[in-house]
Amino acid sequence: MSEAALHSFVTLQLIFILAALAHYLPLSMRQLDVGIVGYFAVGAYVSAIFTRDYEMNFALALALGAIAAGIAALIVDSLATRVRLSGFAYAIFSLSFAEALRIILNNTSYVGGTAGFAGIPAETTLIQVSLIFLVVVFGFWLLDRTRLGALKTAIADDEFIVPIFGVPLVATKLVIFVLGGMLGGLAGGLYAHYVLYIRPDNFGFSLLIAIQLPIVFGGLDRFYGAIAGTLILGIVPELVRGLEQYRLIFTAAATVGVLIVRPSGLITFETISRARTSFRKLARGIHPNG
Amino acid sequence: MGTFVQQCINGLTIGCTYALVAVGFTLIFGVLRVVYLSHGAVLAASSYLGLYALAYSGSVLIAIATGIIGGALLGFIVEYMTVRPFRGQNHLIPMVATASVATIIQEVLRLTFQGGQPIAYPRAITSALYEWKFSEFRIYVTLGQITIALVAILLVVALNLAVKRSWMGRGIRSVADSEWVSSLLGVHVNAISAQTVALGSSLAGAAGVLLGLTVPAIDPHFGETLQFKALAITLFAGLGSVPGAVIGGIMLGLVEAFASGYLATSYRDLFAYVMMIVILSVRPAGLLGRQPAQRV
C-alpha cells in the first residue's frame, strides 16, 4: 500500500471507529439504534452546507452538524421512549427514520437530490481525526467511571428494574441516545469533509451493516470491543491479498461465526477480567497459569 | 375515472406481491419470534434463479416453481445458520445474524451475476396486453399482472391450508403457542423451525419471480426495500397475523399506486416508513394487533 493510500485508509478507518462508537453507545444499553446512519447523514449534510454555502469555520460547522444530529436523535428517541419502544420494535422505528430521511434527501434539490452533494471543501486531516478520536476514547473511558456509565450497564441488564430504584429511565436513555446521535453527526461531518462528495444512497442499509457488524463482532460489553471489531474487520481484508472484493462477505461471515461461537462477541467482561488477572500475575513475576 | 381504475389494478397486483412477502415474514415472526432480515436477500436470490429458469425453459410456471423451491432451500440454509443457534437468546442477536447472512447472499449475487448490474427479465412473455373498452374509458391489463394475482392468491390459500389443515401446520401452530410445551409433547422444534422458515421463504421466492416479471430490472439489493415494506405491513396488521398481512399488503400497494399516479413517483417508497413511524409511536404492537406483554 502506498503512503497516500495508507493515509486515507487510516483516516477513514478512524472516522468509521467514531461512527461505530456512536452506534455502540445505545447498543451498550441493548438498544439497537439503527438511526445511526441517519445521524451520520444529518451531520454530514448540515456541516457540508455550512462550510460550502456559508463559508463557515470548519470546527464550528462540525459542531453545528453534531448538534443537528443530536436534535434529530432527541426527536426520534423521545417519540420512541414515550411509548416505551424497546427491542426490535425500537430498531424498526429508528430504521424507518433513517430510511425516510434518505428518501427525503434524495428528493431535496437544494442538497443535490440523487445526484449527490458535491463541492465540499477539503478540511478533514488525519491529525484532526486522530485528536478527536483520542478525546472521544478518553470520554468513553471516563463515562465508564461515572454514574451515567453504571446506569447504562444497569439498563442493559434489565431496563424494567432500573426505575424501581428511583432512576429516571427515560431521561437517562435520552441522554445516551443524544450523545450517540451527536457523536454520529460528528463522524458524519468529518466523513463529508474527507470524501468531498456525498449522496443520500451512501447512507443506506449497507452503511449500517458496515458500522454495526464489527461492533457485534467485537463484543458489546466494553467500548474497546467496538474499536477492536472495527479495526480487525477493517484491517484483515486489506492485509490478505485478494480479499478486498469479498470484504463484506468476510465481515458478515466473521460476525455470524463469532455469534455462533461466542454470542457476546470477541471481547467480553470475562475476557477482560481474565486478561487483567494474568497481567497482574505477570507483573508480579508469577507464571500466568501458575 | 379511467386513471382511477387503472391505478386500482396496478395497485392490486403490486399489493399481491407485497402480501406474499409480508405473509412469509409474519409467519416466521409469529412462530419463531425472529425479525427475519434475510427475507429480502432470499427474494432477490430466488428472483435470479427464476430468471435463469425462464431463460432455459421459456415457461413462466417453471420459473415460478424454481423460485419457490429455491426460496425454500435457501430458507433451510439460513435457518440453520441464523435462527437455530440463537433460539432463546436476546432477539437482537438473530436479527443481526439474519442481516449478516442477507449481506452474504447479496454479495454472492453481486459477484456472481454481472457485478450486480441490474438485469431485466425477458419482456415478451408477460407483456401481452389485454384491453377492455368501456363506454368512455379503456383499461389495460398485462398477462404478467393476471399471473401475479392468480399465483399470489393460490399461494396464500395453499399456505393457509398447510398451516390450518396439515400435520406440519399443527406442529407450526403448537410451536407458535409455546415452544417449550410443544417440545415436551414430542414436537421436533428444530424441524418445525426449519419448515416454518422454508415455508415463508418459498413465498418470498415466488414473490421474487413474480416481481421480476413486472419491475423493469432486478439487482441484488431490490429485496431490501420490499423487506422493509413487509415489516411495515406486518406492524400495521399486528405481528403474526396472516389475514392482516394480506389486507395490509394490498392496501399498501393501492396507496403507493395512487401516490405515484397522482403525486410524485419519487416519494412512493416513503409511505411504508412514515406508516411505520406513525404506527409505532401511537400503538407499539401494531394497529390491529393485541398489545402483548413484551418479552425483554
Strands (E), chain B: 129-133, 138-142
The mean pLDDT value for A182-201 works out to 92
Q: Is the pLDDT of residue A268 over 60?
A: yes
Q: Indicate if the pLDDT at residue B49 is higher than 50.
A: yes
Contacts of A176 by beta carbon, 8 Å cutoff, 6+ apart: A25, A26, A28, A29, A148, A152
User: How do residues A148-188 score in pLDDT, each as one tens digit?
Assistant: 988 888 888 888 888 888 888 889 999 999 999 999 999 99
Per-residue pLDDT reduced to its tens digit, B67-84: 999 999 999 999 998 888
* Number of Cβ atoms within 10 Å of the Cβ of A67: 18
Distance CA A289, CA A228 (A): 25
Instruction: Write down the mean pLDDT value for chain B.
Output: 84
Confidence of residue B196 (pLDDT cuts 50, 70, 90): very high
Closest residue on chain A to B266 (Cα): A107
pLDDT at position B294 over 70: no
The verdict on B77 touching A (C-beta cutoff 8 Å) is no
Those residues whose C-beta lies under 8 Å from the C-beta of residue A24, and which sit 6 or more positions away, are A180, A215, A220, A223, A225, A226
B-chain CB neighbours of A83 within 8 Å are 280-282, 284
* pLDDT value for B87: 82
Taking the Cβ of residue B1 and every Cβ of chain A, the question of whether any pair is shorter than 8 Å is answered with no
Please judge whether B82 and A256 are an interchain contact, meaning their C-beta atoms are less than 8 angstroms apart: yes
CB count in 10 Å sphere of residue B185: 9
Residues 6+ apart with CB under 8 A from A26: A32, A33, A176, A177, A180
Question: Among B81, B96, B278, which would you mutate to test the A interface (most chain A Cβ atoms within 10 Å of its Cβ)?
Answer: B96
**Interface with chain A: mutation pick from B39, B100, B263, B275, highest number of A CBs within 10 Å:** B100
Q: Count of CB atoms within 10 A of residue B73's CB?
A: 18
Residue with cell 399516479: B261
- Name the β-bridge partners of B138: B133
Q: Could you tell me which residues come within 8 angstroms of residue A69 by beta carbon, excluding any fewer than 6 positions away? A: A39, A40, A42, A43, A46, A181, A182, A184, A185, A186, A188
Q: Does B280 touch chain A (CB under 8 A)?
A: yes
Q: Give pLDDT, residue B286.
A: 61
Residue B104 to residue A253, Cβ atoms within 8 A: yes
Q: Name the H helices within B58-91.
A: 60-78
Q: CATH for B2-282, among 3.90.460, 1.10.3470, 3.30.960, 1.25.40?
A: 1.10.3470
CA distance A128 to chain B (A): 33
Residue A139, pLDDT above cutoff 70: yes
What are the chain A neighbours of B274 within 8 Å (beta carbons)? Answer: 96, 100
Name residue, grid cell 467496538.
A226
| Prediction pTM value | 0.86
CB contact under 8 A, B103 and A84: no
Closest in A107, A205, A255 to B267, CB measured: A107
Q: Is the pLDDT of residue B134 over 70?
A: no
- Measured in degrees and rounded to the nearest 5, phi and psi for residue B218 equal -110, 150
Percent of chain B that is helix, strand, coil (3-state, to 5):
75, 5, 20
Crossing angle of the two packed helices A3-27 and A205-218, in degrees rounded to 10: 80
For A227, other C-beta atoms within 10 Å of its C-beta total 22
Band the pLDDT of B291: cuts 50, 70, 90. Answer: low
Question: For residue B139, what pLDDT is reported?
Answer: 75
State the pLDDT at residue B288.
59
d(C-alpha A16, C-alpha B289), whole Å: 39
Measured distance CA(B99)–CA(B167) in Å, rounded? 31
Measured distance CA(B196)–CA(B198) in Å, rounded: 5
The confidence score (pLDDT) of residue A71 equals: 95
Which one, of A206, A211, A139, lies nearest residue A176 by Cα?
A139
With vertex at residue B248, the alpha carbon angle to CA B242 and CA B251, rounded to the nearest 5 degrees, is: 150
Residue A106 has pLDDT above 90, yes or no: no
DSSP-derived secondary structure letter, B121: P
Residue B33: closest CA among B104, B92, B110: B92
CA distance B130 to chain A (A): 35
Of the two residues B87 and A13, the one the predictor is more confident about is A13
The CA distance from B268 to B266, in Å, is 5
Check A159 against B296: CB less than 8 A apart.
yes
Q: What is the largest CA-CA distance in chain B?
A: 66
Q: What secondary structure letter does DSSP report for B263? A: S
Q: Of B108, B231, B277, which is closest to A97 when you measure between CB atoms?
A: B277
Residue B54 cell numbers, joined: 425462464
Q: Among B79, B273, B278, which would you mutate to test the A interface (most chain A Cβ atoms within 10 Å of its Cβ)?
A: B273
Q: What is the pLDDT of residue A194?
A: 92
For chain A, give the mean pLDDT.
87
CB of B263 within 8 Å of any CB in chain A? no
Share above pLDDT 70 across residues of chain B, in percent, rounded to a whole number: 90
Q: Smallest CA–CA separation between B279 and chain A, in Å? A: 9
Lowest average pLDDT, out of A65-74, B94-103, B118-127, goes to B118-127
Q: Where are the domains of chain A?
A: 3-203, 211-290
Count of residues making up chain B: 296
**Are B92 and A32 in contact (CB < 8 Å)?**
yes
What is the DSSP-derived secondary structure letter of residue A165? G
Please list every residue in chain B whose beta carbon sits closer than 8 Å to the beta carbon of residue A246. 107, 111
Q: What is the reported pLDDT for B296?
A: 34
CA–centroid distance for A31 within its chain: 13
Q: Is B57 helix (H, G, I), strand (E, B) or coil?
A: helix
Q: Which residue has the higher pLDDT, B127 or A21?
A: A21
**pLDDT category, B40, cuts 50, 70, 90?**
very high
Task: State the CB neighbour count (10 A cutoff) for residue A157.
Answer: 10
Cell of A7: 493515509
Instruction: Enumerate the β-bridge partners of residue B218.
Output: B119
Tell me the three cell numbers of residue B146.
393476471
